[in-house]
Each structure stands twice: as C-alpha cells, then as structure tokens.
Amino acid sequence: MHNTLNFEGHLTTRWFESKRQFRALFWEDLQMKLRNETKVIIQQMIQTEFNFLIGAEPYQRAPGRKTKRNGSYTRSLETVVGRIEDIRIPRARNLDIRFSLFDRWQQVEDGVLEAMLQTYLLGRSGACAQEIIQSFGHSRFSKTFLQKLTHRVENDLQDWLNRPISKRWPYVFIDGMVVGVREAELQQWCVLWAFGMDEHHNTEILGFVILKSESQEGCERLLNDLKRRGLQTPKLIISDDSKAIENAAAMIFPHTPQQGCMFHKVKAAGQHIKNSKNKKRFLRDASDVYMTATGQRSLLQNLAAFKNKWRRSEPRAVRSFVTGFERTMTYLRFPKDHWRWIYTNNSMESLIDKVRDWTHRYGYFQGRGNLYIALFTFIQHKQKPLAPIEDQSAELPKDTILIA
C-alpha cells in the first residue's frame, strides 16, 4: 500500500502566515481607532474654542455674543496616526477665527518639522528622506517640501548667526569638538563654540564656526564675529590648553585675562605618569591643589607640597603640571562664589557632550551645510521650537493642514 503525500497536514507555513495577517490586522485596527479618537478630540477642541471666541454656545442667546455662526467647511489633517478626513471647521460672520490648535498657514507641527529635518540628515539626501517618511505613512511629504524646509532652516540659521549680542557676558568659554564630515572624502572637522555666562550663572550659546582644524585663524574668525555682533570685552576667557585658542584670544581681546581649565591641566599631567599604580593618587592630589585652596597664597603652598611629594617618583608628570600653571590661577582674581564656575571648562564641556550625543546619531554629515543644519536644529530644539512654514506647498491640497 502506497502512502499519499498530504501537504495540507503540514500547517507550519500556514500558521506563520496566519500570525502575520493577525498582527497586520491588529495594528491596522489600532491605527483606525487612534485616528477616530484623535478626530473626536480635535473636533471637540475646535468647537469649544469657537464657542469661546464668538461668546455663545450653539442656539444660545447671550448678551456678550460677538457674531453669528456662518456654516462650516471640512478639511483634512495629516497626523502621526495617519490622515484624518472630514474635520468640520466652523465659520463666523465678520470675524476672523484662528484656532490655537494650528496656525493659519501652518502645515507641519514643530515636533514633526524637527523629525523631518533629522530624517533628512540621517538619509543625507531628500530622496532618501522621502522614502523614510513615506514608510511611516506620510506620503504627502514630497522631496520638494523637504527642500523648502531645509531652505527655510538655512535662512533662520543665517539670521541666528548674524543676530546682535546686546547682553553683557563677563565670562566667555571657548572650546571645540570633532565631527565627521564627508565632502571629497570622510574627514574629522572641528566645531568651535563660544559660550557666554553672566554673574548669576545664566548662560547662552553665542556662536559657533565649523573648521577643518582648530587653528588660530579659525579661532580669530569666531572671536571677530562675536565682536562684530556687539560682544563687549569680557572680563575673562576660559578655554582648555589649546595654544590656538589662547593666541587668538590674546590677539582679539588683548586686555582680557585668560583662565586655563584646571581639569585639562590635571588630565594632561596624568598622561605622563610613569607608574600606573600612582595614577589614581597623583590625579587626586593634583585636583586637591585647586580644590582645597582658599586664595593665591594657599594655592601656591598646595603646589609646593604637591611638587615635594611627587617630583622623585613622577618627575615628568610633575613637570607637565607645573608648566604654564600660572594660566590656571587667573580665577583667583574674581569673586570667590564664581570660582567653581570659571576655574574649569566644565560648563562648556557639558554643552559639547550634549551636542556630541546629538551628532553621533548621524554618524557623519554630507558636507558642511548639513552639519550647520544639524547643529542649528539642536540649538533650536534646546531653546525654542521651529517656527511653522508659512508658504503653502504645491504638493499639498489647500484644504490640508499637517499636525502631529
């Protein structure tokens, strides 16, 4: 007796396909429910605000009523949960109603604009960004729309770079970071930042410049730009042990004293330690030279004690620590309650760490222009949201507003 092959008995493939279809139906149903709920909430918000603006509920006779209703029209909204159709927008006679849910010409909510810019930077081209955005259901975001968005951001960037500096910043921090940029080839470029701080520890990013290397000429460019925009001569300039920054600051602000970061001084000396077993104690003692000082005399006494303790066992590290030590003592001329803010470059390092985390997600940037956009997007994200694009896109119907 011959056995007949029965493929219907092997249901593994059919079972996996059923699971796939079930998952697809589940997420599709969830998206539909989210869209319906979102539409109900939007409709309620619009109606509540409309009643408040005209001063009366539907069919209500109120003494403070400003105008009468004049029918309604429908429009569509592209949201993060998909396209919502036929949202009813009420009209009023002789009254220009602008709803707080969206601006008059707004097409994309601020958070979506930021996400689109990040997608553009990650994709490194408009076409690639369009594919990524479309995969999340936003098929109406065209390549041309992305180009308009980046052009708008570039204009805002120029306005920000040229904005006047009207406030007095007694303390100015200068430091740089390295970022990957591909033009002819992939290279490590330098972003040089200027950071202002006042006597109350309020801070602001004053400007930045992108350079192929941290050169004195590039540092002078940044400082000259700050001066051109109105930066008054600061009381103190704080930086690491970069000779390029030190020389440039002395050239542009010759009468401003400079403070070398004590953290960088300790760290640089630690690189010359001969016996690795000494490193932890050496670094702690070097830091205590500054941390336990109560004034100039105390600091110099701490330095002498430190030299006597370590000069035999770690002569090269001690020599590195002592060389240029006077540049790290400048903070003593300023109010004592400011010392912890200005004897290191930590305030600047904190900013750079955040920017570095922001830029690492992109790997590298396709040209200097994309890097400028990414850094400006970070600044806008930290300070204020991106403003909406006011001109209507040719690819979008006139009855469509995009929100998130």
Report the DSSP beta bridge partners of residue 195: 173, 205
Task: Report the C-alpha gap between 266 and 271 in whole angstroms.
Answer: 9
Pair of tokens at residue 301: 């006494």
pLDDT of residue 403: 34
pLDDT at residue number 387: 46
Distance between CA atoms of 205 and 196, rounded to whole angstroms? 6
Q: Where exactly are the structural domains of the chain?
A: 11-92
Contact 385, 96 (CB under 8 A): no
Q: DSSP letter for 186, please.
A: E
CA quadruple 106, 112, 118, 120: dihedral positive or negative? negative
Burial class (CB in 10 A: 0-12, 13-18, 19+), 259: buried
The whole-angstrom separation of Cα 142 and Cα 151 is 14
CA-to-CA dists, residue 20 to 13, 15, 17, 135, 231, angstroms: 11, 9, 5, 18, 62
In this prediction, residue 22 carries a pLDDT of 73
Q: What is the pLDDT of residues 15-29, one digit of tens each?
A: 677 777 777 777 777
3-state secondary structure of 284: helix
3-state secondary structure of 272: coil
How far does CA 17 lie from the centroid of its chain? 43
DSSP for residue 275: S
What pTM does this model have? 0.68
Contact 196, 169 (CB under 8 A): yes
Beta bridge partners of 76: 400
Q: Which amino acid belongs to residue 389?
A: I
d(CA 315, CA 325): 16
Please give the chain's pLDDT, 404 residues, in tens: 566 655 555 566 666 777 777 777 777 778 788 878 888 888 888 888 888 888 888 877 777 787 888 888 887 776 666 667 788 888 888 777 777 776 654 555 555 566 666 666 665 555 555 555 555 555 455 566 667 777 788 888 899 999 999 999 999 999 999 999 988 888 899 999 999 999 999 999 999 999 988 889 999 999 999 999 999 999 999 999 889 999 999 999 999 999 999 999 999 999 999 999 999 999 999 999 999 999 999 999 999 999 999 999 999 999 999 999 999 999 999 999 999 999 998 888 888 998 888 888 888 888 888 888 889 888 886 554 444 444 334 343 333 333 33
- β-pairing, 258-260 vs 236-239, is parallel
DSSP track, 94-160? T-----TTS-TT--S-HHHHHHHHHHHHHHTSHHHHHHHHHHTT-TT--HHHHHHHHHHHHHHHHHH
CA-only gyration radius of the chain, Å = 30
Mean pLDDT of the chain: 81
User: Helix axis angle, 346-360 relative to 368-383, nearest 10°?
Assistant: 120
| Token pair for 23 | 């998952």
- Secondary element (H or E) of residue 399: none
Instruction: Kindly list the distances between the CA atom of residue 90 and the CA atoms of 38, 60, 61, 75, in Å, as whole numbers in the listed order.
Output: 18, 16, 18, 11
CA separation for the pair 396, 142 (Å, rounded):
9
Give Cβ neighbours of residue 11 (< 8 Å, ≥ 6 apart).
none
pLDDT digits (tens, 9 = 90+) for 35-58: 788 888 888 888 888 888 888 888
Q: Which residues pair with residue 177 across a beta bridge? A: 191
Check: CB of residue 197 under 8 Å from CB of residue 167. Answer: no
Three-state DSSP at 33 gives helix
Kindly list the distances between the CA atom of residue 77 and the CA atoms of 62, 396, 400, in Å, as whole numbers in the listed order: 33, 11, 6
Instruction: Identify any residues that bridge with 188 across adjacent strands, giving them in sequence order.
Output: 180
